[in-house]
């Protein structure tokens, strides 16, 4: 059975950065790319806030650059999905695609988090053409435009407030007749004259020729006074939460109630010595490419230290 010194699971900015650093440290990392090589950034058209690209760069290009850099330093990058792990034995045992097994002295989990969507066909149709799940990533493109944010929790209120600093008008579409957000976030939203909260509103579709031009909404869905109308907008932002991709690790790794991996004392260390977490899989706060890359670097340095300390 193949044995590797460092297995990296996931291929976004965190995974690729970890591969660059472990590769340069002569650890010969093996990285499995998972379902979506390049992670969430491959669904983003223009990235303008990653340092070193004053003219901006597309998400897929940025990921391809990182991938090439990791390979340059000897990372073995493979297609495949981790379907099972056993972190009780050492070296750790990992199953790929329900068939291949390998052993790893250390593991970096960088499987990311997937934004939750409403499940509308139009969300896929207009992906990268007006539909976004990250206001801080894409808000800049909607300066002086009209946008809608879907959600009623802290994330939605935060995104609406952020977008109000850029956009001309922000509609907050809330399914319930109230906001679930904390009092301070509710006050910020209600006190912002650029934000209009539309309670008991469901988005049921989007329309537009070359991108989002509006949203089909239903007010008081299923009630006697249900009304349907079209709301003209330029951008549609989902803020109904993220789902960390941690199911396969949950039997061994401590996670919070949402599924995010709990790390120790601001480091990438998990409750299992030799297993580290990097990127959005352990980040409930920032979820940016640059913070993911930084955590990938930290995880790689921790791997190097662990291998030396344990004579591996």
Taking the alpha carbons of 11, 13, 150, 203 in that order, is the dihedral positive or negative? negative
d(CA 34, CA 280): 15
Both structure tokens of 67: 């991938």
CB atoms within 10 A of CB 38: 23
Q: Which of 6, 105, 122, 138 is catalytic?
A: 138
Phi-psi region of 74 (alpha: psi -120 to 50; beta: other; left: phi over 0): left
Q: Give yes or no for a contact between 197 and 108, defined as CB atoms under 8 angstroms apart.
A: no
Per DSSP, helices labelled H in the chain are 13-24, 59-72, 121-125, 135-138, 154-164, 183-190, 289-309
Q: Which of 137, 157, 255, 280 is catalytic?
A: 137
Both structure tokens of 224: 């006697």
6 is an active site residue: no
Lay out the sheet containing 195-199: strands in order across: 131-132, 235-238, 146-150, 169-174, 195-199
Q: Which of 6, 105, 122, 134 is catalytic?
A: 134
157 is an active site residue: no
Both structure tokens of 58: 């597309």
138 is an active site residue: yes
In angstroms, how far is the first alpha carbon of the chain from the final one? 17
Q: Which residues have a Cβ under 8 Å from the Cβ of 85 and sit 6 or more positions away?
A: 92, 93, 94, 95, 107, 248, 249, 252
d(CA 242, CA 151): 12
Upstream peptide bond of 43 is cis (omega within 30 degrees of 0): no
Q: Give yes or no for a contact between 239 and 150, defined as CB atoms under 8 angstroms apart.
A: yes
Positions marked catalytic: 134, 137-138
């Amino acid at each position: 059975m193949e044995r590797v010194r460092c297995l990296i699971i996931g291929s976004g900015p965190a995974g690729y950065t970890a591969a660059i650093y472990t590769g340069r440290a002569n650890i010969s990392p093996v990285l499995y790319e998972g379902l979506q090589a390049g992670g969430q950034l491959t669904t983003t058209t223009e990235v303008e806030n990653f340092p070193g690209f004053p003219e901006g760069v597309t998400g897929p290009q940025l990921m391809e650059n990182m991938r090439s850099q990791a390979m340059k330093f000897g990372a073995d990058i493979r297609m495949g999905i981790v379907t099972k792990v056993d972190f009780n034995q050492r070296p750790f045992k990992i199953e790929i695609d329900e068939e291949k097994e390998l052993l790893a002295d250390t593991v970096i989990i960088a499987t990311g988090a997937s934004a939750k969507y409403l499940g509308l066909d139009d969300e896929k149709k207009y992906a990268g053409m007006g539909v976004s799940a990250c206001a801080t990533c894409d808000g800049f493109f909607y300066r002086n435009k009209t946008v809608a944010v879907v959600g009623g929790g802290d994330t939605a209120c935060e995104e609406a407030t952020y977008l109000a600093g850029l956009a001309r008008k922000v509609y907050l579409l809330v399914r319930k007749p109230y906001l679930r957000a904390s009092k301070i976030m509710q006050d910020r939203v209600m006190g912002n004259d650029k934000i209009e909260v539309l309670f008991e509103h469901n988005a049921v579709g989007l329309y537009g020729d070359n991108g989002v031009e509006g949203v089909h909404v239903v007010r008081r869905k299923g009630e006697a006074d249900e009304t349907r109308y079209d709301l003209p907008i330029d951008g549609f932002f989902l803020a109904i939460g993220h789902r960390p991709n941690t199911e396969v690790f949950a039997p061994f790794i401590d996670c919070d109630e949402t599924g995010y991996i709990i790390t120790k004392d601001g480091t990438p260390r998990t409750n299992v010595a030799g297993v580290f977490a990097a990127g959005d899989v352990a980040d409930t706060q920032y979820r940016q490419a640059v913070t993911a890359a930084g955590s990938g670097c930290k995880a790689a340095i921790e791997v190097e230290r662990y291998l030396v300390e344990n004579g591996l």
